Amino acid sequence: MKPASIQLDELYVQRDKHAKELRDSGKKVIGYFCCFVPDEIITAFDMVPYRIQGSQNKAIDQADAYIEPMACPFVRSCFNKALKGEYDFLDGFVAPHSCDTVERMYNIWCQNKPAPFNHLINVPHMMGPSSEKFYRQELDYFVKSLENWTGHNLDTGKLRDAVRLYNERRAVLRALYDLRKSDPPLVLGTEITTVLVAGMGIPAAKHIELVKQFIDEVKGRPLPQTQKLPRIFIWGNELDDIAFIKLVEECGAWVVMDDLCTGTRFFWEDVPETADPLDGIATRYLYTHCPRSNVPQTKTRAGDLENRYSYINDFIKEWVVNGAIFYIVRYCDTCELEGPDLREYLNGMGLPVLMIEDDYSTSTIGQLRTRVQAFLEMIG
Protein backbone atom coordinates (compact mmCIF):
# COMPACT_ATOMS: atom_id res chain seq x y z
CA MET A 1 0.00 0.00 0.00
CA LYS A 2 1.36 3.41 -0.95
CA PRO A 3 1.69 6.04 1.77
CA ALA A 4 -1.38 8.28 2.07
CA SER A 5 0.62 11.32 0.99
CA ILE A 6 1.47 9.61 -2.30
CA GLN A 7 -2.11 8.47 -2.84
CA LEU A 8 -3.37 11.99 -2.12
CA ASP A 9 -0.81 13.45 -4.52
CA GLU A 10 -2.00 11.08 -7.22
CA LEU A 11 -5.63 11.93 -6.59
CA TYR A 12 -4.76 15.61 -6.69
CA VAL A 13 -3.12 15.19 -10.10
CA GLN A 14 -5.72 12.80 -11.53
CA ARG A 15 -8.79 14.24 -9.90
CA ASP A 16 -11.34 12.35 -11.92
CA LYS A 17 -9.59 8.97 -11.91
CA HIS A 18 -11.30 7.47 -8.90
CA ALA A 19 -14.71 8.90 -9.78
CA LYS A 20 -14.42 7.35 -13.24
CA GLU A 21 -13.50 4.00 -11.72
CA LEU A 22 -16.51 4.17 -9.46
CA ARG A 23 -18.69 5.05 -12.39
CA ASP A 24 -17.30 2.10 -14.33
CA SER A 25 -18.27 -0.08 -11.39
CA GLY A 26 -21.87 1.09 -11.68
CA LYS A 27 -22.02 4.10 -9.36
CA LYS A 28 -23.57 7.34 -10.47
CA VAL A 29 -21.39 10.44 -10.18
CA ILE A 30 -22.97 13.84 -9.58
CA GLY A 31 -20.91 16.94 -10.35
CA TYR A 32 -21.65 20.17 -8.54
CA PHE A 33 -20.32 23.69 -8.08
CA CYS A 34 -19.37 25.58 -4.92
CA CYS A 35 -20.13 25.11 -1.25
CA PHE A 36 -23.94 25.10 -1.28
CA VAL A 37 -24.83 21.66 -2.65
CA PRO A 38 -25.03 19.20 0.23
CA ASP A 39 -22.80 16.16 -0.37
CA GLU A 40 -24.90 14.37 2.23
CA ILE A 41 -27.99 14.24 0.02
CA ILE A 42 -26.13 12.87 -2.99
CA THR A 43 -24.37 10.31 -0.81
CA ALA A 44 -27.67 9.21 0.75
CA PHE A 45 -28.83 8.26 -2.76
CA ASP A 46 -25.77 5.97 -3.02
CA MET A 47 -24.20 8.27 -5.57
CA VAL A 48 -20.79 9.92 -5.59
CA PRO A 49 -20.66 13.72 -5.15
CA TYR A 50 -17.95 15.26 -7.30
CA ARG A 51 -16.93 18.88 -6.78
CA ILE A 52 -16.41 20.39 -10.23
CA GLN A 53 -13.04 22.05 -10.60
CA GLY A 54 -11.29 23.99 -13.29
CA SER A 55 -7.72 23.90 -14.41
CA GLN A 56 -5.46 26.81 -13.58
CA ASN A 57 -2.70 25.52 -15.81
CA LYS A 58 -4.70 25.00 -18.99
CA ALA A 59 -5.83 27.78 -21.30
CA ILE A 60 -9.53 28.48 -21.70
CA ASP A 61 -9.59 27.77 -25.40
CA GLN A 62 -13.17 26.74 -26.19
CA ALA A 63 -15.52 28.33 -23.68
CA ASP A 64 -15.30 31.85 -25.12
CA ALA A 65 -17.52 30.77 -27.99
CA TYR A 66 -20.28 30.25 -25.41
CA ILE A 67 -19.65 32.66 -22.55
CA GLU A 68 -18.16 36.12 -22.32
CA PRO A 69 -14.55 36.45 -21.18
CA MET A 70 -15.56 38.91 -18.44
CA ALA A 71 -17.22 36.08 -16.55
CA CYS A 72 -15.45 34.36 -13.65
CA PRO A 73 -12.46 32.50 -15.14
CA PHE A 74 -12.89 29.63 -12.69
CA VAL A 75 -16.40 28.92 -13.97
CA ARG A 76 -15.27 29.39 -17.57
CA SER A 77 -12.42 26.99 -17.00
CA CYS A 78 -14.80 24.36 -15.60
CA PHE A 79 -17.05 24.75 -18.61
CA ASN A 80 -14.06 24.63 -20.92
CA LYS A 81 -13.26 21.22 -19.48
CA ALA A 82 -16.87 20.15 -19.98
CA LEU A 83 -16.76 21.23 -23.62
CA LYS A 84 -13.65 19.13 -24.12
CA GLY A 85 -15.45 16.11 -22.80
CA GLU A 86 -13.55 16.00 -19.53
CA TYR A 87 -16.78 15.92 -17.56
CA ASP A 88 -18.57 13.43 -19.74
CA PHE A 89 -18.30 10.92 -16.91
CA LEU A 90 -20.77 12.94 -14.82
CA ASP A 91 -24.27 11.50 -14.57
CA GLY A 92 -25.56 14.66 -13.02
CA PHE A 93 -24.81 18.37 -13.00
CA VAL A 94 -26.00 20.43 -10.03
CA ALA A 95 -25.44 24.15 -9.69
CA PRO A 96 -26.41 26.24 -6.71
CA HIS A 97 -27.42 29.83 -7.35
CA SER A 98 -24.29 30.89 -5.57
CA CYS A 99 -23.50 33.92 -7.71
CA ASP A 100 -24.50 35.62 -10.96
CA THR A 101 -21.97 33.72 -13.04
CA VAL A 102 -22.79 30.25 -11.74
CA GLU A 103 -26.51 30.90 -12.08
CA ARG A 104 -26.11 31.98 -15.70
CA MET A 105 -23.63 29.22 -16.38
CA TYR A 106 -26.27 26.68 -15.40
CA ASN A 107 -28.41 27.45 -18.43
CA ILE A 108 -25.44 27.67 -20.79
CA TRP A 109 -24.04 24.37 -19.52
CA CYS A 110 -27.37 22.56 -19.70
CA GLN A 111 -28.04 23.79 -23.22
CA ASN A 112 -24.64 22.84 -24.56
CA LYS A 113 -23.36 19.95 -22.45
CA PRO A 114 -26.36 18.58 -20.60
CA ALA A 115 -25.81 15.73 -18.17
CA PRO A 116 -28.46 13.02 -17.85
CA PHE A 117 -29.62 14.82 -14.67
CA ASN A 118 -29.47 18.61 -14.33
CA HIS A 119 -30.67 20.70 -11.43
CA LEU A 120 -30.29 24.20 -10.00
CA ILE A 121 -30.74 24.80 -6.28
CA ASN A 122 -31.77 28.34 -5.55
CA VAL A 123 -29.77 29.47 -2.53
CA PRO A 124 -30.96 32.63 -0.79
CA HIS A 125 -28.46 35.44 -0.53
CA MET A 126 -30.14 36.64 2.63
CA MET A 127 -29.87 34.92 5.97
CA GLY A 128 -32.69 34.51 8.45
CA PRO A 129 -35.65 32.28 9.30
CA SER A 130 -37.56 32.80 6.04
CA SER A 131 -34.39 32.18 3.99
CA GLU A 132 -33.75 29.01 5.95
CA LYS A 133 -37.28 27.82 5.26
CA PHE A 134 -36.98 28.60 1.56
CA TYR A 135 -33.62 26.88 1.20
CA ARG A 136 -35.03 23.85 3.00
CA GLN A 137 -37.89 23.80 0.46
CA GLU A 138 -35.37 24.04 -2.35
CA LEU A 139 -33.59 21.03 -0.87
CA ASP A 140 -36.91 19.18 -0.72
CA TYR A 141 -37.37 19.95 -4.39
CA PHE A 142 -33.83 18.76 -5.13
CA VAL A 143 -34.55 15.51 -3.29
CA LYS A 144 -37.78 15.09 -5.21
CA SER A 145 -35.95 15.62 -8.51
CA LEU A 146 -33.36 13.01 -7.54
CA GLU A 147 -36.13 10.61 -6.52
CA ASN A 148 -37.83 11.05 -9.88
CA TRP A 149 -34.60 10.53 -11.75
CA THR A 150 -33.23 7.60 -9.79
CA GLY A 151 -36.61 5.94 -9.19
CA HIS A 152 -35.74 5.58 -5.49
CA ASN A 153 -37.10 7.41 -2.49
CA LEU A 154 -34.67 9.10 -0.16
CA ASP A 155 -33.88 6.86 2.80
CA THR A 156 -33.83 9.13 5.86
CA GLY A 157 -31.67 6.63 7.71
CA LYS A 158 -29.05 6.82 4.97
CA LEU A 159 -29.22 10.60 5.05
CA ARG A 160 -28.64 10.55 8.80
CA ASP A 161 -25.63 8.27 8.23
CA ALA A 162 -24.33 10.62 5.56
CA VAL A 163 -24.59 13.56 7.95
CA ARG A 164 -22.51 11.66 10.50
CA LEU A 165 -20.03 10.57 7.83
CA TYR A 166 -19.45 14.11 6.55
CA ASN A 167 -19.23 15.46 10.09
CA GLU A 168 -16.54 12.89 10.69
CA ARG A 169 -14.72 14.10 7.61
CA ARG A 170 -15.05 17.67 8.87
CA ALA A 171 -13.61 16.63 12.23
CA VAL A 172 -10.70 14.85 10.58
CA LEU A 173 -9.95 17.86 8.40
CA ARG A 174 -10.10 20.18 11.40
CA ALA A 175 -7.66 17.83 13.15
CA LEU A 176 -5.39 18.17 10.14
CA TYR A 177 -5.65 21.97 10.40
CA ASP A 178 -4.68 21.71 14.07
CA LEU A 179 -1.27 20.56 12.89
CA ARG A 180 -0.76 24.04 11.44
CA LYS A 181 -1.03 25.72 14.83
CA SER A 182 2.49 25.00 16.01
CA ASP A 183 5.42 27.17 14.97
CA PRO A 184 6.64 26.08 12.55
CA PRO A 185 3.50 24.30 11.39
CA LEU A 186 3.78 20.54 11.00
CA VAL A 187 2.11 20.61 7.61
CA LEU A 188 2.55 22.96 4.68
CA GLY A 189 -0.19 24.99 3.04
CA THR A 190 0.53 23.26 -0.25
CA GLU A 191 -0.01 19.89 1.40
CA ILE A 192 -3.30 21.05 2.86
CA THR A 193 -4.59 22.17 -0.54
CA THR A 194 -3.49 18.88 -2.06
CA VAL A 195 -5.37 16.92 0.60
CA LEU A 196 -8.53 18.98 0.24
CA VAL A 197 -8.63 19.01 -3.55
CA ALA A 198 -7.82 15.30 -3.71
CA GLY A 199 -10.87 14.63 -1.57
CA MET A 200 -13.30 16.51 -3.78
CA GLY A 201 -13.76 13.67 -6.23
CA ILE A 202 -13.83 10.62 -3.97
CA PRO A 203 -16.32 9.25 -1.47
CA ALA A 204 -16.03 10.76 1.99
CA ALA A 205 -15.25 7.43 3.67
CA LYS A 206 -12.17 6.97 1.52
CA HIS A 207 -11.09 10.56 2.07
CA ILE A 208 -11.43 10.19 5.84
CA GLU A 209 -9.27 7.08 5.76
CA LEU A 210 -6.58 8.81 3.70
CA VAL A 211 -6.56 11.97 5.80
CA LYS A 212 -6.25 9.96 9.00
CA GLN A 213 -3.30 8.08 7.54
CA PHE A 214 -1.80 11.33 6.33
CA ILE A 215 -2.08 12.85 9.80
CA ASP A 216 -0.23 9.83 11.22
CA GLU A 217 2.44 10.24 8.54
CA VAL A 218 2.85 13.91 9.41
CA LYS A 219 3.09 13.19 13.10
CA GLY A 220 5.67 10.55 12.40
CA ARG A 221 8.00 12.63 10.28
CA PRO A 222 10.86 14.73 11.63
CA LEU A 223 9.90 18.15 12.89
CA PRO A 224 10.53 20.90 10.35
CA GLN A 225 13.40 23.28 10.90
CA THR A 226 12.45 25.91 13.42
CA GLN A 227 12.98 28.76 11.04
CA LYS A 228 11.00 31.83 12.05
CA LEU A 229 8.82 32.83 9.14
CA PRO A 230 5.70 34.96 8.78
CA ARG A 231 2.47 32.99 9.33
CA ILE A 232 -0.04 33.75 6.60
CA PHE A 233 -3.82 33.55 6.37
CA ILE A 234 -5.21 33.26 2.84
CA TRP A 235 -8.66 34.59 2.00
CA GLY A 236 -10.46 34.48 -1.33
CA ASN A 237 -12.48 32.18 -3.53
CA GLU A 238 -11.44 29.22 -5.68
CA LEU A 239 -7.87 28.02 -5.27
CA ASP A 240 -7.95 24.44 -6.46
CA ASP A 241 -4.31 24.47 -7.52
CA ILE A 242 -1.36 24.56 -5.18
CA ALA A 243 0.59 27.00 -7.39
CA PHE A 244 -0.21 30.23 -5.55
CA ILE A 245 0.20 28.81 -2.06
CA LYS A 246 3.44 27.23 -3.15
CA LEU A 247 4.63 30.60 -4.39
CA VAL A 248 3.85 32.21 -1.02
CA GLU A 249 5.65 29.46 0.84
CA GLU A 250 8.62 29.60 -1.54
CA CYS A 251 8.88 33.33 -0.85
CA GLY A 252 9.49 32.54 2.80
CA ALA A 253 6.27 32.12 4.76
CA TRP A 254 4.10 29.49 6.35
CA VAL A 255 0.56 29.43 5.03
CA VAL A 256 -1.23 28.36 8.20
CA MET A 257 -4.91 29.15 7.75
CA ASP A 258 -7.47 30.03 5.10
CA ASP A 259 -10.99 31.11 4.32
CA LEU A 260 -11.41 29.83 0.77
CA CYS A 261 -14.14 28.06 -1.21
CA THR A 262 -11.66 25.21 -1.52
CA GLY A 263 -10.62 25.47 2.12
CA THR A 264 -12.34 25.92 5.46
CA ARG A 265 -15.41 27.45 3.81
CA PHE A 266 -16.63 24.10 2.53
CA PHE A 267 -15.98 21.93 5.57
CA TRP A 268 -15.39 23.86 8.78
CA GLU A 269 -18.83 23.82 10.42
CA ASP A 270 -20.64 20.58 11.28
CA VAL A 271 -24.17 19.79 10.22
CA PRO A 272 -26.28 19.66 13.37
CA GLU A 273 -27.95 16.29 13.83
CA THR A 274 -31.65 17.15 13.79
CA ALA A 275 -34.75 14.94 13.92
CA ASP A 276 -35.27 15.59 10.24
CA PRO A 277 -31.72 15.60 8.85
CA LEU A 278 -32.67 18.00 6.06
CA ASP A 279 -33.34 20.69 8.67
CA GLY A 280 -29.80 20.50 9.98
CA ILE A 281 -28.39 20.37 6.48
CA ALA A 282 -30.37 23.46 5.43
CA THR A 283 -29.19 25.44 8.43
CA ARG A 284 -25.56 24.44 8.04
CA TYR A 285 -25.28 25.16 4.33
CA LEU A 286 -27.27 28.39 4.32
CA TYR A 287 -25.03 29.95 6.94
CA THR A 288 -21.81 29.09 5.12
CA HIS A 289 -19.46 32.05 5.44
CA CYS A 290 -19.24 33.27 1.88
CA PRO A 291 -19.16 36.80 0.47
CA ARG A 292 -22.15 35.90 -1.71
CA SER A 293 -24.30 35.64 1.42
CA ASN A 294 -25.53 38.77 3.09
CA VAL A 295 -25.10 38.87 6.83
CA PRO A 296 -27.84 41.13 8.21
CA GLN A 297 -26.48 44.45 9.37
CA THR A 298 -26.01 45.15 13.04
CA LYS A 299 -26.34 48.63 14.43
CA THR A 300 -22.86 50.11 14.04
CA ARG A 301 -20.17 49.75 11.43
CA ALA A 302 -17.72 48.30 13.95
CA GLY A 303 -20.34 45.90 15.27
CA ASP A 304 -21.26 44.92 11.75
CA LEU A 305 -17.69 44.03 10.84
CA GLU A 306 -17.30 42.08 14.06
CA ASN A 307 -20.50 40.20 13.36
CA ARG A 308 -19.34 39.34 9.84
CA TYR A 309 -15.75 38.44 10.59
CA SER A 310 -15.47 37.25 14.18
CA TYR A 311 -14.87 33.71 12.90
CA ILE A 312 -11.84 34.99 11.01
CA ASN A 313 -10.68 36.73 14.14
CA ASP A 314 -10.77 33.34 15.85
CA PHE A 315 -8.73 31.82 13.02
CA ILE A 316 -6.16 34.62 13.26
CA LYS A 317 -5.75 34.22 16.99
CA GLU A 318 -5.74 30.45 17.18
CA TRP A 319 -3.38 29.98 14.26
CA VAL A 320 -1.23 32.96 15.37
CA VAL A 321 -1.31 34.73 12.02
CA ASN A 322 1.07 37.61 11.15
CA GLY A 323 -0.36 38.67 7.81
CA ALA A 324 -3.21 38.06 5.39
CA ILE A 325 -3.14 37.62 1.65
CA PHE A 326 -6.35 37.94 -0.34
CA TYR A 327 -6.36 35.95 -3.57
CA ILE A 328 -9.43 37.05 -5.51
CA VAL A 329 -10.24 35.39 -8.80
CA ARG A 330 -11.06 38.31 -11.07
CA TYR A 331 -14.69 39.19 -11.87
CA CYS A 332 -15.99 37.83 -8.59
CA ASP A 333 -18.12 40.83 -7.69
CA THR A 334 -18.99 39.64 -4.21
CA CYS A 335 -15.33 39.08 -3.27
CA GLU A 336 -14.33 42.35 -4.89
CA LEU A 337 -16.86 44.14 -2.66
CA GLU A 338 -16.05 42.11 0.43
CA GLY A 339 -12.27 42.48 0.22
CA PRO A 340 -11.96 46.14 1.27
CA ASP A 341 -14.31 45.56 4.24
CA LEU A 342 -12.32 42.57 5.46
CA ARG A 343 -9.09 44.46 4.95
CA GLU A 344 -10.44 47.29 7.10
CA TYR A 345 -11.35 44.79 9.80
CA LEU A 346 -8.01 42.98 9.74
CA ASN A 347 -6.03 46.22 9.59
CA GLY A 348 -8.03 47.30 12.63
CA MET A 349 -6.63 44.25 14.39
CA GLY A 350 -3.17 45.35 13.37
CA LEU A 351 -2.85 42.67 10.72
CA PRO A 352 -1.24 43.69 7.42
CA VAL A 353 -3.10 42.68 4.26
CA LEU A 354 -1.98 42.13 0.67
CA MET A 355 -4.94 42.16 -1.71
CA ILE A 356 -4.34 40.37 -5.02
CA GLU A 357 -6.71 40.03 -7.94
CA ASP A 358 -5.76 37.36 -10.44
CA ASP A 359 -6.94 35.42 -13.44
CA TYR A 360 -7.19 31.85 -12.16
CA SER A 361 -4.18 30.95 -14.23
CA THR A 362 -0.81 29.59 -13.23
CA SER A 363 0.71 31.45 -16.17
CA THR A 364 0.14 34.80 -14.40
CA ILE A 365 1.10 33.68 -10.91
CA GLY A 366 4.83 34.25 -11.44
CA GLN A 367 4.16 37.97 -11.82
CA LEU A 368 2.87 38.01 -8.26
CA ARG A 369 6.14 36.84 -6.76
CA THR A 370 7.58 40.34 -6.35
CA ARG A 371 4.45 41.61 -4.64
CA VAL A 372 4.35 38.67 -2.27
CA GLN A 373 8.06 39.00 -1.49
CA ALA A 374 7.70 42.71 -0.77
CA PHE A 375 4.74 42.01 1.50
CA LEU A 376 6.57 39.32 3.42
CA GLU A 377 9.61 41.56 3.83
CA MET A 378 7.35 44.27 5.18
CA ILE A 379 5.85 42.06 7.86
CA GLY A 380 9.27 40.55 8.56
C-alpha 321 chain-centroid distance? 21
Binding test (CB under 8 A) with another protein, winner from 14, 57, 137, 370: 137
Q: How far apart are CA 1 and CA 197, in angstroms?
A: 21
Binding test (CB under 8 A) with another protein, winner from 8, 35, 90, 99: 99
CA distances from 222 to 91, 180, 213, 225, 226 (A): 44, 15, 16, 9, 11
Angle at the Cα of 162 from the Cα atoms of 175 and 21, rounded to 5 degrees: 90
Identity of the residue, 29 or 94, whose beta carbon is nearer to another protein in the bound complex: 94
Whole-number minimum distance, CB 309 to another protein, in Å?
12
- Close Cβ partners of 182 (under 8 Å, ≥ 6 residues apart): none
Q: How far apart are CA 190 and CA 167, in angstroms?
A: 24
Identity of the residue, 197 or 332, whose beta carbon is nearer to another protein in the bound complex: 332
Q: Where are the alpha helices (DSSP H) in the chain?
A: 4-13, 17-24, 39-44, 73-83, 100-112, 129-150, 156-178, 189-198, 204-220, 243-250, 264-267, 277-286, 301-318, 333-348, 362-365, 369-379
> Which three-class secondary structure state does DSSP give residue 363?
helix
Total chain residues near another protein (CB under 8 A): 57
Whole-number minimum distance, CB 134 to another protein, in Å?
4
Binding test (CB under 8 A) with another protein, winner from 5, 66, 186, 206: 66
Sheet architecture: strand order including 117-121: 48-51, 29-32, 92-96, 117-121
> Which three-class secondary structure state does DSSP give residue 294?
strand
Does 19 help bind another protein (rule: CB under 8 A)?
no
Binding test (CB under 8 A) with another protein, winner from 57, 130, 153, 310: 130
Does 179 help bind another protein (rule: CB under 8 A)?
no
Does 138 help bind another protein (rule: CB under 8 A)?
yes
Query: According to CB under 8 A, which residues from 278 to 307 bind another protein?
Result: 291-292, 294, 296-297, 299-301, 304
Identity of the residue, 141 or 311, whose beta carbon is nearer to another protein in the bound complex: 141
> Which three-class secondary structure state does DSSP give residue 119?
strand
Does 363 help bind another protein (rule: CB under 8 A)?
no
Strands 48-51 and 231-236: unpaired
Span from 63-71, 84-92, 199-207, 261-269 in contact with another protein (CB under 8 A): 63-71
Span from 31-39, 62-70, 203-211, 235-243 in contact with another protein (CB under 8 A): 62-70
Identity of the residue, 202 or 305, whose beta carbon is nearer to another protein in the bound complex: 305
Identity of the residue, 248 or 305, whose beta carbon is nearer to another protein in the bound complex: 305
Identity of the residue, 6 or 378, whose beta carbon is nearer to another protein in the bound complex: 378
Binding test (CB under 8 A) with another protein, winner from 46, 61, 68, 216: 68
Residue 74's CB is within 10 A of a number of other CB atoms, namely 29
Q: How far apart are CA 206 and CA 222, in angstroms?
A: 26
E strand or H helix at 329, and its extent? strand 323-329
Whole-number minimum distance, CB 86 to another protein, in Å?
20
Residues within the interface to another protein (CB under 8 A): 64-68, 70-72, 99-101, 104-108, 110-111, 118, 120, 122, 124-126, 128, 130-131, 133-134, 137-138, 141, 144, 291-292, 294, 296-297, 299-301, 304, 328, 330-331, 333-334, 336-341, 343-344, 355, 357
